Amino acid sequence: MQLDNSNGINKIATDPTLSKQEKNWELMSVLGMKWSETVSLTDEDRDFLLTKVEKIKIHIEKSRKLQ
């Protein structure tokens, strides 16, 4: 299952074309991390967390469809 990315609102967190700032925004908005925490991550840790963000977003989307 993929989120609709046509309007840019539901960007795919693991999209390789996202800028570092967009990736950090995903971590901040979905996981509740502080911006200062996101900027100090290694690329490896950021990518790992973004895969978790994507799983959370898919779960949220499935839950919304069930309501």
The per-residue pLDDT for range 9-59, each reduced to its tens digit, is: 468 988 999 999 999 999 999 999 999 999 999 999 999 999 999 999 999
* Structure-token match 């967190």, residue found: 13
41: domain range? 20-66
Answer yes or no: are the C-beta atoms of 49 and 31 closer than 8 Å: yes
Residue 7 lies in a domain: no
Residue 10 lies in a domain: no
pTM of the predicted model as reported, rounded to 2 decimal places: 0.79
Residue 43 lies in a domain: yes
Residue 14 lies in a domain: no
Residue 41 lies in a domain: yes
What 3-state class would DSSP assign to 25?
A: helix
Residue 11 lies in a domain: no
> What's the structural domain count of the chain?
1
